[in-house]
């Protein structure tokens, strides 16, 4: 009896060891590739080191002038020195990437009257040039954002002078695919097949943004939902895997109790489409929040089926509309992805940040590795399954993983602990992308402990794995 039980335990140990070992199986070296994700430059050419932080850090007069940093200020948008420093940091830390993804928001958070169409076109062309100058031989896959248009947020559903100008600016990167460039001209969305045969779909999600008055009430702005469905259907027929790249994600911000970014009917339709093709969508990249955040999409049975990775911003600009507004800024950040070339599987994230106050003090822009996702969080990779496990690991009170996530969320700017309300907003935004789910989660008093039973199982397996590994 005793011996039987013991060998049973050994069998289980062996099984756990083998399954963990096989799961963590290494990818052949020549199959490992890297790419950068950079987002939200929000370049302001009027940033002044004698600016007024209450006036966009623009110079007003000598009375309101402050001594501001050369690399920017937590209250404001980015000077060119910060933009250039970010792209140079990418080059210095990993020059030989396969490509770069760039999810937009180039213009400053200033009234439209201070920008205008001409200047908007110039800003986008200039930032395109900065990246091209520093990475002359690297392909960039760009996505348009709500601050890449004048008037801001009002992206139209048909071709325009600005869409054409953007297509002109980006055509150097997409010149191998004339359909992609033509599609950009039409409504600023496109699809293209990457070198490894993964299909990249880049929707113009700004058409769904609640701040876009042009598209309100339209059944399918620019026919983009139809186009997404057709493109995904074709990918499925051709056995292609898909990555989605866009500026604004569906779902809700995580640092406030908010309505979703998209009009509700657009949010639900978008999620319906993602859900329908979740089996071929193996990567989704967004930005817009300025924070380091992710979302896991569940089906009706509560199983994780897809996930979204949101890159933090280069711009440090303080968001005044968040729960902990005093800490609503972030350190400038750029993120490096490690992936499996042959399958497009996402293996890891290396998050780089610049400590803005230190850079200004020392007059030297130090970019450092903030964390490596698999090491910091003890996860195997950054696939949906692992991100689901990560979200589960956040649930217990005093979860170490959650505390790390909460710090990284602002690129290590906000060091205050996340209280109960803060954690509820975070958890609900991470695991509930549909509006009714999110609302129910925010109303619930026990949101942090929902799916608790699953969490216990995960914890049990994790600790068991730990015991096996260290013994």
Ligand X SMILES: *[C@@H]1O[C@H](CO)[C@@H](O)[C@H](O)[C@H]1NC(C)=O
Choose, by CB under 6 A, the member of 17, 59, 60, 464 that binds ligand X.
60
Choose, by CB under 6 A, the member of 81, 164, 357, 372 that binds ligand X.
357
**Crossing angle, helix 400-409 and helix 420-431, to 10 degrees?**
80
Q: Which stretch binds ligand X (CB under 6 A): 154-162, 165-173, 350-358, 397-405?
A: 350-358
Q: Which of residues 21-50 bind ligand X (CB under 6 A)?
A: 45
Residue 98 makes contact with ligand X by CB under 6 A = no
Residue 123 makes contact with ligand X by CB under 6 A = yes
Beta bridge partners of 354: 367
Residue nearer to ligand X on the CB measure, 355 or 426: 355
Shortest Cβ distance from residue 161 to ligand X (Å)? 18
Strands (E), 66-166: 99-102, 140-142
Q: Which helix H or strand E contains 15, and what residues bound it?
A: helix 2-23
The C-alpha atoms of residue 129 and residue 300 are separated, in whole angstroms, by: 46
Say which residues have a Cβ less than 8 Å from residue 379's Cβ, sequence separation at least 6. Answer: 373, 386, 387, 389, 390
Residue nearer to ligand X on the CB measure, 80 or 468: 80
Q: Which stretch binds ligand X (CB under 6 A): 93-101, 120-128, 290-298, 443-451?
A: 120-128
Beta bridge partners of 37: 101, 335
Residue 126 makes contact with ligand X by CB under 6 A = yes
Choose, by CB under 6 A, the member of 25, 26, 63, 301 that binds ligand X.
63
Residue nearer to ligand X on the CB measure, 112 or 380: 112
Cβ contact 311:86 at 8 Å: no
Residue 122 makes contact with ligand X by CB under 6 A = yes
Residue nearer to ligand X on the CB measure, 149 or 227: 149
Q: Supply the DSSP symbol for 237.
A: H
Residue 59 makes contact with ligand X by CB under 6 A = no
Residue nearer to ligand X on the CB measure, 61 or 363: 61
Residue 327 makes contact with ligand X by CB under 6 A = no
Distances (CA, A) of 104 to 144, 159, 290, 406: 5, 19, 11, 24
What are φ and ψ of residue 445, in 5° steps? -90, -10
Q: Across the chain, how many H-helices and E-strands are there? A: 14, 12
Instruction: Give residue 221's Cα distance to chain centre.
Output: 23
Q: Which stretch binds ligand X (CB under 6 A): 14-22, 57-65, 71-79, 220-228?
A: 57-65
Q: Which stretch binds ligand X (CB under 6 A): 12-20, 119-127, 239-247, 451-459?
A: 119-127
Choose, by CB under 6 A, the member of 197, 358, 380, 437 that binds ligand X.
358
What are φ and ψ of residue 53, in 5° steps? -60, -20
Which pair of tokens denotes residue 219?
Answer: 């059944």
Shortest Cβ distance from residue 127 to ligand X (Å)? 9
Q: Which stretch binds ligand X (CB under 6 A): 169-177, 225-233, 352-360, 448-456?
A: 352-360
The C-alpha atoms of residue 323 and residue 320 are separated, in whole angstroms, by: 9
Say which residues have a Cβ less than 8 Å from residue 7's Cβ, sequence separation at least 6. Answer: none
Residue nearer to ligand X on the CB measure, 85 or 183: 85
Cβ contact 108:69 at 8 Å: no
The C-alpha atoms of residue 263 and residue 273 are separated, in whole angstroms, by: 16
Shortest Cβ distance from residue 71 to ligand X (Å)? 12
Residue 20 makes contact with ligand X by CB under 6 A = no
Shortest Cβ distance from residue 136 to ligand X (Å)? 17
Residue nearer to ligand X on the CB measure, 44 or 348: 44
Shortest Cβ distance from residue 135 to ligand X (Å)? 18
Q: Which stretch binds ligand X (CB under 6 A): 118-126, 174-182, 247-255, 306-314?
A: 118-126
- How many CB atoms neighbour CB 403 within 10 A? 13
Residue 355 makes contact with ligand X by CB under 6 A = yes
Q: Which of residues 381-440 bind ligand X (CB under 6 A)?
A: 412
Q: Supply the DSSP symbol for 417.
A: P
The C-alpha atoms of residue 350 and residue 348 are separated, in whole angstroms, by: 7
Shortest Cβ distance from residue 297 to ligand X (Å)? 31
Cβ contact 154:214 at 8 Å: yes
- Residue with token string 């600023």: 188
Which residues contribute to the site for ligand X (CB under 6 A)? 45, 60-61, 63-64, 122-123, 126, 355, 357-358, 412
């Amino acid at each position: 009896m005793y011996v039987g039980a013991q060998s049973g335990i050994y069998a289980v140990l062996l099984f756990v060891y083998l399954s963990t070992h096989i799961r963590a199986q290494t990818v052949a070296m020549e199959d490992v590739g890297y790419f950068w994700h950079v987002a939200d430059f929000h370049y302001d050419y009027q940033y002044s080191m004698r600016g007024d932080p209450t006036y966009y850090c623009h110079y007003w007069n000598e009375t309101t002038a402050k001594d501001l940093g050369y690399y920017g200020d937590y209250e404001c948008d980015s000077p060119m020195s910060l933009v250039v420093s970010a792209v140079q940091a990418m080059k210095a830390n990993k020059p030989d990437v396969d490509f770069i993804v760039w999810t937009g928001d180039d213009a400053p958070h200033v009234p439209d009257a201070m920008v205008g169409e001409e200047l908007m076109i110039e800003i986008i062309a200039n930032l395109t040039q900065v990246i091209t100058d520093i990475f002359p031989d690297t392909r960039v896959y760009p996505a348009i954002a709500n601050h890449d248009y004048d008037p801001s947020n009002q992206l139209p559903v048909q071709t325009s002078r600005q869409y054409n100008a953007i297509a002109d600016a980006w055509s150097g990167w997409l010149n191998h695919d004339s359909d992609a460039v033509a599609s950009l001209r039409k409504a600023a969305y496109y699809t293209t097949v990457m070198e490894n045969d993964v299909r990249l779909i880049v929707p113009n999600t700004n058409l769904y943004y609640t701040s876009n008055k042009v598209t309100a009430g339209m059944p399918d702005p620019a026919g983009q939902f139809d186009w997404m469905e057709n493109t995904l259907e074709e990918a499925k027929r051709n056995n292609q895997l898909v990555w989605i790249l866009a500026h604004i994600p569906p779902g809700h911000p995580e640092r406030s109790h908010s309505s979703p970014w998209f009009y509700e009917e657009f949010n639900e339709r978008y999620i319906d489409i993602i859900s329908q093709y979740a089996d071929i969508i193996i990567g989704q990249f967004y930005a817009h929040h300025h924070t380091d955040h992710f979302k896991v999409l569940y089906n009706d049975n509560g199983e994780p089926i897809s996930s979204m990775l949101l890159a933090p911003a280069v711009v440090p600009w303080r968001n005044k509309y968040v729960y902990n507004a005093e800490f609503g800024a972030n350190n400038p950040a750029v993120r490096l992805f490690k992936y499996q070339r042959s399958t497009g599987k996402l293996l890891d994230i290396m998050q780089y940040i610049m400590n803005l106050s230190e850079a200004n003090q020392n007059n030297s822009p130090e970019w450092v590795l903030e964390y490596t996702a698999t090491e910091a969080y003890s996860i195997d990779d950054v696939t949906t399954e692992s991100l689901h496990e990560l979200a589960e690991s956040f649930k217990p009170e005093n979860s170490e993983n959650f505390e790390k996530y909460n710090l990284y969320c602002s690129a290590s700017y906000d060091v205050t602990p996340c209280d109960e309300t803060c954690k509820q907003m975070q958890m609900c935004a991470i695991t509930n992308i549909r509006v009714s789910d999110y609302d129910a989660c925010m109303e619930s008093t026990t949101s942090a402990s929902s799916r608790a039973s699953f969490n216990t199982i995960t914890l049990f397996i994790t600790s068991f794995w730990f015991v096996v590994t260290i013994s």
